[in-house]
Structure 1
Amino acid sequence: MSHDGVGPMSVRPSAALRSAAFLVAGALAVSALAGCSSKDPAGKPLAGPDIAPAARDLIVDGGKLRWAVDSVPETLNTFQSDADAVTSRVAQAVLPSMYRMDAKGRPQRNADYLESAKVVDTKPKQVVLYKLDQQAVWSDGREIGAADFAAQWRALSGKDSSYWTARNAGYDRIEKVERGANDLEVKVTFTRPYADWKSLFTPLYPKEVMGTPDAFNDGARKKLKLTAGPFALKLVDTKNEQVVLVRNPRWWGRPAKLDEIDLKAVPLDERAEALADGKLDLAEIDPSDADRFTLAGRAKGTSTPLMGPGKRRTPAKALQDFTVRKSLEPAYTQLALNGSMGPLADERVRRAVARALDRTALAQTVLKPLGLPAVPVGSHLALSGQAAYADGSGALGHQDTAKAEALLADAGWVRGGPVKEQQKEAEKAAGAKGKKADDESEGGDEGTYIVGEDDKDNKDDTNGENGKNGDGRGDDKDARDHTRTQAQESGRHLEDGKQYARQHGGAPGAYAPKGTAAPAAVGAGTLAKDGKPLALRFVLPSGTGSDVLGTVADRIGRMLQKVGITTQITKVSDESYFKDHIAAGQFDLALYSWPASAFPATDARPVYAKPVPAADGSLDVQQNYTRVGTDQVDQLFDQASATLDGGKNHSLIRKADSRIWAAAGSIPLYQRPQLTAVRKNLVNAGSFGLTTPVYEDLGFLKKGAKPSASPSGD
């Protein structure tokens, strides 16, 4: 997976960061976001799935699909804390799902398992009746039924601590699960109303997995004895780093076209070569590799070697059997602002940071070169096309340098403040050339550098930030400038700056690259208060695929410099990025992603919940890594989750989102690009966007056949 917005992507509790203190409650025109207009504010997805749809009768019966993944999963139980995206992919192929997502990211009944599912009573309590498909059976021939639903509820209810569960949202609201009028009916009664009931029992595990703590904790980590999907699990091979799925002979739905799917662990930077060597058929790739495939397609009939940074030579001809399918992931990258300490504990400063950003320019930086819609994300809680989506960014306000400066002044930050002593020391540190940086930097930091000192780069950014270039013209020039800047930075010798980083808010042991003109920035235009400059530590991962984040961070740094805020970019190892920095609260600014959810009232709540003191005196932040929340946002989530009326539910979600925007704890930037290299004759596969893959329809075209307008049944 690309580091374009690296984050806890495997964690189901989705959405984005949480929210912060609501400064002026009466100032928000929330009613405008509540869906008063007859036009659906959810709109359409910015990009649909790009999968080369084909009718099943055009697809070969048989074949093996070799599909690159990040790693072999540690567990096959999606409800455990170390489950990841590959865990979910396996579950989608081999286990029952009551609902799956359509092209708009909205849940649709899965007819292979459910004849129907609906709320049949609300008073005195909510009751949902599931009617199962009469052919639905586990791989041992046993019918899927109420016993499986009940076992999963008991395991995930949170009442038995012997089950090592990562989440129990929704299951903790169930009072009982029982057989209905016959064996094909399951009746679920809730203790209190639960709007997101469609999120439950997907995936559904057999009672043999959920029935006892031992089976739940250990029995489904590397094997699944019983499955009930178009594919069955053959083996998890940690030695050869692959998971093998085979066609399920007991599958009652449309037979899988493929005989086998091999999920092979291949690092991101090795996938282009693995594809060219004939070892893979399908792989998400980095944007730099996407360019190589595009060039190969233009170089038909040649064997011109194509080069990428740090990569071995790959013949163009070897890549011509593949195409790159493009969409946008069901996830977005956002700027996180740590509101628990330092200048960002003041909501006015957080709001000023947000108002200084040209989010359209940042989206264009990432998406425009890829030919994808460069539209900033307008909600923390849903993506365009999803039912709860509406652009709530107006609650905070759009880019406005003057407003940002006014907010900072109101918070007591003034230009040219009393930072003379710090400036002298910084100038002395920056002028001591030849001195080597301390290699024993603390916290695993790989380097810190100051953004904002280059007058030309600041000038180049002006068009995108002050409204003179609102349509994005001139961004190509900015992109070239960023490329030039990155190349210069990559060649710098890291030295001299450890002292400066300590003096001005950097991580202990971090260092600044040679040539960083930090003193000029501090003395000339940086804001100060109580003798200290307004300098924010911007933490990023440093591993493969993090180049895009570096470019975005550089642009953000220059935008903030225009209002007097200095950013000190610190790159740390991937291994420590989330654990030691984001989750631990050791950052001021950071970039990472959250997955979108069709059930934001449930999944987004822990991401935005107001942190509360724990029994041991620590702060329980759940997944709220910016550590800012409000009672008001919590109440809106609670109301939404208990509202069975879809329209009212969406209205409450949008109100919650407007308050999250106003608090400026996190700023959504852009939906993540999804680039997938696919063998040209492989259909119904590629970049799936918001939709769930239909595994039984994946396959290779018959000779001479061409993809159809849309997939169809037999």
Structure 2
Amino acid sequence: MSHDGVRPSATRRAAAFLLAGALTVSALSACSSDEKENRPLAGQDIAPAGRALVADGGTLRWAVDAVPATLNTFQADADAATSRVAGAVLPSLFRLDARGRPQPNPAYLESAKVVDTEPRQVVLYRLDQQAVWSDGREIGAADFAAQWRALSGKDSAYWTARNAGYDRIAKIERGHDDLEVKVTFARPYADWKSLFTPLYPKEVMGTPDAFNDGARSKLKVTAGPFALKKVDREDGKVTLVRSTRWWGSPAKLDKIVLRAVPRDERLDALAENKVDLAEVDPDDAERIAAAHGTKTTAASQAAAGAEREKAEKAEKAEKAAKKEKEEKDKKKDEKKGDEDAAEAAARRKALRRYVVRSSLEPAYTQLALNGSEGPLADERVRRAVARALDRTKLAELVLKPLGLPAVPVGSHLALAGQPAYEDNSGALGGQDTKGARALLADAGWILGGPVEKQAKDKKDKKGKDEDGDEAGEKDTAGSKGEKSEDDDGTYIVGEDDKPGEAEGAGDHGGDGRSEERAARSADGKQYLGEPGAARHGGAPGAYAPMGTAAPARAADTVMAKDGKALSLRFVLPSGPGSASLRAVGDRIARMLRKVGIRTTITKVPDDSYFKDHIASGEYDLALYSWPATAFPATDARPVYAKPVPGADGELKVEQNYTRVGTDRIDQLFDEALVTLDAGKERELMRKADSRIWAGAASIPLYQRPQLTAARPRLVNVGAFGFRTPVYEDMGYQERTPSSASTSSVPSATSS
């Protein structure tokens, strides 16, 4: 997951991408006139070129997060690199177009359609007569049947991560000839186009041993424009070579080498000429743009830099102090300065070999609210949190500095441009401070109400308090440090930084700390708000002679109930590449402060973010991303399904990490899944989306930026947007006299 969105595993979703807004439109119907208004906010940026303009040969070295643990996309530990390999070497019966719609892949299909609905749904696939596996065997019904049996869920010996759709198939048989495959469904299935992409040979799917272990590190039989040559885990590379048995348009490249390069090492790998193509984070994109003499990839580098600098300020402080100490010696400082200057110049020169291609990724970042316990178990509090947010400002924070459309996402189930997209955020309402406070008041939270004095935590040497909780995870009512940071990366966002500070203003003022005003009255209770704000009955608020101006901080008084301040645990990832996400988290915390909600922000390592916090429910607020899908009825259902107790009494949440759902939402998904009317299916999904919005457990914020550093002469590859990559068309542009004189990029690079 780049960490402007950290995201959950996508193995159980038919993701359009895999691993940080959408257009607000009027109500959509099935008619084409409305669909014309629903366009992707940003097109793909891949330097498109006709095949005649692409040179034959060359190697593309493509950065991935890691060498895939498995080459079987249907296993739980499959990742983005797994999908990338499968896309290049295995059949994909359907590919997504620029609007995220599934289209038949002509390399494998002559046609695919529903030919019967009564008494059962029947889909007939007509295969391309040249479609064969790399061993010469024709692709046919035996392969379809083996994949169905492996993924149907009927045989527990197969270690499958998902079986959606395959569990609805009754039988698979040969059609009129070997080119036809007839699939009969036991139950209607609207998303039948999601099946058999990718399609594995029967040699992989035929037995549990072959499925579980045989395809983890090798694929002896393939059927794509490329074939798998080697998976080298020690050297961190996967090598794909042009297939000699491919019947379609020949691959332009000789080789594609997927090289494992962690996100925080991408810029070094580019500068050191180790890769030709790499997804990069906004900071790295800015550095590449700066090497070309521009301020940023598009707009203002200063605006983006200021926000990220603020988010990184605390963690950089220690490094800055250490560096200052090391540079005290003048001679060493001068020598080091000369070396650094020379190194920086060389680095800038090296980075000028690349350009940044940008679009919007088919994924969105959301604010998740854990509704299983605590204040957020009350829907009114969740809705108040949502009404406190200015989603447009959050989208602008991330996307505007990159020159990308900064429009909030209006749907949980589709993105702008996809046929099912409709902005249903109106079911929850927009930013409304007064409305948010009214919802909190209705839930019993009093503005500036009494707060019982909290005992000071006593931590042991392991950083645990007396109750065994993690250090820093504490109630802070009455504490003096408004934004105090502990050794574990926890800091508190309380009332306000300084009197009258507007939301979104610069840093937190001075050293980043300010005093939280607290007052005691004769009744011995503590009150949050201005000094002297003791309550003696009546409406909450400071009492003063008529005409006296309200204190500047009165609007930021914390809500309280039953002697406790309204404080939420906000968990964020701490790893490299997460700066934008943390900046968004900081801005959200300030927005919540305006309605009286305090947040305790805890930064945790990326590798434990989902396992130890999101999946286990150890959070109140969190930011992570979900991929878009062409099949929301299938893929999004486990994300929003109502949690139910399992046989062992434990709550079964599937992928619904917010733990909020309703029977009606489940019913709408179920109805959408069985209708074969595409228009009706979209309408059911829009109704479900409206109800998901109303539940206020997940708040879509913005579509994630997709930034890819590429050699200028690389074509048909880059920021793909919704569209499925076409691997056989990727390559280096043919040299022309003009390009040869202006470009120093070689036509091919060696691995």
Structure 2 residue aligned with 1:450:
492
Is 1:362 matched with 2:394? yes
The one of 185, 189, 195 equivalent to 2:184 is 189
After superposition, the C-alpha distances for 1:658-688 in whole angstroms (9 at most, x for unaligned) are 0000000100000111111000111111111
Match of 2:4 in 1: 4
Residue 11 of structure 1 deviates from its aligned partner by: 2.8
Residue 601 of structure 2 corresponds to: 569
Q: Which amino acid aligns with 1:61?
A: D
How high is the TM-score relative to the length of structure 1?
0.84
Aligned to 1:115: 110
CA contact (8 A) 1:5 1:549 kept: yes
What does the per-residue CA deviation read over 1:129-183, in whole Å, with 9 as the maximum and x for residues that have no partner? 0000000000000000000000000000000000000000000000000000000
What are the residue-to-residue correspondences of 1:209-358 with 2, within 5 Å?
A: 209-298=204-293, 313=344, 315-358=347-390
SS in 2 for 1:162: coil
CA contact (8 A) 1:34 1:655 kept: no
The residue matched to 2:227 in structure 1 has which SS?
A: strand
Shift of 1:32: 5.8
Matched-pair contact (CA < 8 Å) for 1:333–1:672: yes
Q: Judging changes above 3 Å, is the alpha-carbon distance between structure 1 residues 14 and 92 closer, same or farther for their aligned structure 2 residues?
A: closer
* Aligned partner of residue 557 in structure 1, secondary structure: helix
Q: Describe the SS at the equivalent of 1:61.
A: coil
Within the candidate set 417, 421, 430, 2:449 is matched to: 417
8 Å contact from structure 1 (residues 15, 600) kept in 2? no
Contact 2:86 2:198 in 1 (8 A): yes
Give yes or no for contact 1:177–1:189 (8 Å, CA) kept in 2: yes
What is the deviation of 1:459?
3.4
Q: Give the aligned partner of residue 543 of structure 1.
A: 575
* Corresponding position of 1:510: none
Per-residue CA deviation, residues 462-488 of structure 1 (Å, 9 max, x unaligned), is xxxxxxxxxxxxxxxx4xx55x45996
CA distance in 1, matches of 2:490, 2:37: 41
Q: Which residue of 2 aligns with 1:104?
A: 99
Report the Cα distance in structure 2 between the residues aligned to 1:189 and 1:78, rounded to whole angstroms: 24
Instruction: Please provide the CA RMSD for this pair.
Output: 2.8
Q: Which amino acid aligns with 1:563?
A: V
Determine if contact 2:28/2:35 at 8 Å carries over to the other structure. no
- Work out the number of aligned pairs and report it: 632
Percent of pairs identical after alignment?
Answer: 71
The answer on whether the counterparts of 1:395 and 1:662 sit within 8 Å (CA) in structure 2 is yes
Distance 1:573 1:612, change over 3 A: same
Matched, 1:389 2:431: no
Mapped partners of 1:409, 1:319: distance in 2: 55
* Mapped partners of 1:457, 1:96: distance in 2: 62
Relative distance call for 1:443 and 1:397 in structure 2 (3 A) is: same
Cα distance between partner residues in 1 of 2:499 and 2:172: 62
- State the match for 1:656 in structure 2: 688
> What one-letter code is carried by the residue in structure 1 that aligns with 2:130?
Q
Does the 8 Å contact 1:13/1:607 carry over to 2?
no
Residue in 2 that maps onto 1:373: 405
- What is the match of residue 644 of structure 2? 612
**Equivalent position to 1:599, from 631, 643, 668:** 631
2-structure distance, mates of 1:15, 1:94: 18
- Partners of 2:554 and 2:378 in 1: how far apart? 21
Aligned letter for 1:390?
E
Match of 1:59 among 44, 54, 57: 54
Counterpart CA distance in 2 for 1:81 and 1:344 is: 31
Unaligned runs of 5+ in 2: 17-25, 296-304, 310-315, 320-339, 473-487, 514-525, 527-551, 740-751
What pairs up with 1:69-84 in 2 under 5 angstroms? 69-84=64-79
Per-residue deviation, 1:523: 12
Shift of 1:440: 2.8
User: Which region of structure 1 is more displaced relative to structure 2, 653-662 or 397-406?
Assistant: 397-406
Aligned to 2:611: 579
Whether 1:440 and 2:435 are equivalent positions in the alignment is: no
Aligned partner of 1:459 in structure 2 is 501
**2:367–2:701: 8 Å Cα contact kept in structure 1?**
yes
- Asked whether the 8 Å contact 1:246–1:260 carries over to 2, the reply is yes
Distance of 2:254 and 2:555 partners within structure 1: 67
In structure 1, C-alpha distance between the alignment counterparts of 2:737 and 2:152, rounded to whole Å: 50
**CA-to-partner distance for each residue in 1:349-370, whole Å, 9 max, x for gaps?**
0011101100000000000001
Distance 1:524 1:56, change over 3 A: closer
Relative distance call for 1:437 and 1:64 in structure 2 (3 A) is farther
Partner of 1:23: none
The answer to whether 1:125 aligns with 2:120 is: yes
Find the residue that maps to 1:4 and give its secondary structure: helix
What letter corresponds to residue 492 of structure 2 in structure 1?
Answer: I
| CA deviation string 1:536-582 (max 9, x = no partner) | 00001111111111110111011111111001101111121100100
Bigger Rg over Cα: 2
Letter in 2 for 1:653: M
Structure 2 CA distance for aligned equivalents of residues 203 and 381 of structure 1: 23
Measured in 2, the distance between the counterparts of 1:42 and 1:602 equals: 26
Matched, 1:94 2:89: yes
Residue 364 of structure 1 aligns to a residue whose secondary structure is helix
Question: What is the CA-CA distance between 1:35 and the residue it aligns to?
Answer: 6.4
Matched, 1:206 2:229: no
The separation in 2 between residues aligned to 1:339 and 1:366, in whole angstroms, is: 27
Q: Is 1:145 the counterpart of 2:145 in the alignment?
A: no
**Structure 1 equivalent of residue 322 of structure 2:** none
Cα distance change of structure 1 residues 39 and 374 upon mapping to structure 2, 3 Å threshold: same
TM-score, normalisation: structure 2: 0.80
Contact 2:496 2:556 in 1 (8 A): no
Which of the pair has the greater relative contact order for Cα pairs under 8 Å at 6+ separation? 1
Q: Is the 8 A contact 2:5 2:623 kept in 1?
A: yes
Deviation at 1:8, TM superposition (A): 1.3
Letter in 1 for 2:350: A
Q: Aligned runs of 1:1-40 on 2, under 5 Å?
A: 1-13=1-13, 39-40=34-35
Q: CA deviation at 1:73?
A: 0.6
Following the alignment from structure 2 to structure 1, what is the Cα–Cα distance between the partners of residues 563 and 366?
31
Equivalent pair of 2:28/2:34 in contact (CA under 8 Å): no
The alignment partner of 2:623 has SS state of strand
Deviation for aligned residue 1:534: 0.5
Cα distance between partner residues in 1 of 2:97 and 2:586: 36
Q: Report the Cα offset of residue 443 of structure 1.
A: 5.5
Whether the aligned pair in 1 keeps the contact of 2:556 and 2:594 (CA below 8 Å) is: no
Contact 2:11 2:73 (8 Å CA) reproduced: no
Q: Distance in 1 between matches of 2:129 and 2:510?
A: 62
Contact 2:14 2:194 survives alignment (8 Å): no
Letter of the 2:83 counterpart = S
Specify every segment of 5 or more residues in structure 1 that has no aligned partner in the other structure, as ranges: 17-30, 301-306, 430-434, 462-477, 493-502, 504-519, 708-714
Q: 2:174 aligned with 1:179, yes or no?
A: yes
- For 2:360 and 2:272, locate their aligned partners in 1 and report how far apart those are by CA, in whole Å: 27
Q: For residue 456 of structure 1, report the CA deviation from its aligned partner.
A: 5.0
1:28-85 residue CA offsets vs partner (Å, 9 max, x unmatched) = xxx9676699623871111111000011111110000000000001000000000001
| Aligned residue identity for 2:657 | Y
Supply the distance in 2 between the matched residues of 1:695 and 1:143 (Cα, whole angstroms): 22
AA partner of residue 208 (structure 2): P
CA contact (8 A) 2:11 2:74 kept: no
CA distance in 1, matches of 2:582, 2:258: 30
Aligned to 1:683: 715
Tell me which amino acid in the other structure corresponds to 2:349: K
For residues 170 and 487 of structure 1, what CA distance do their matches in structure 2 show?
58
